[in-house]
Amino acid sequence: MPQPAIAQIEDGVNEVLKNVSRRPIEPRIGDDLVADLGFDSLQVLEVIAELEDRFDISIPLNDVPATRTVAQVVAQVASLVEGRSTA
């Protein structure tokens, strides 16, 4: 399976964020999930579940508290997708 380009991963992450948000948002790469986009802890877990399904990855729950911005989410997903394809 070909690796998704980082732009495709970013688009997918943004789409998941929009789906999970209970209000209209336009996520930007520097946005904080909680402070800027208004996600609560349950929504963050929903985002993780959707990202895992969408990209066929497993996000370690220990990494969740440190992953605060859209950029960090994109980097985490890209790293896991890359690791999956080399495994």
pLDDT at position 4 is 61
Q: What is the pTM of this model?
A: 0.89
CB-based contact 59:80 (threshold 8 Å): yes
Domain that holds residue 82: 6-86
1: in domain: no
Residues 6+ apart with CB under 8 A from 82: 3
pLDDT at position 1 is 42
Q: What is the mean pLDDT of each run of 10 residues along the chain (87 residues)?
A: 76 97 95 96 96 96 90 96 78
Number of domains in the chain: 1
59: in domain: yes
Helices (H), 1-87: 6-20, 41-55, 70-86
CATH number at residue 56: 1.10.1200.10
pLDDT at position 87 is 60
CB-based contact 1:80 (threshold 8 Å): no
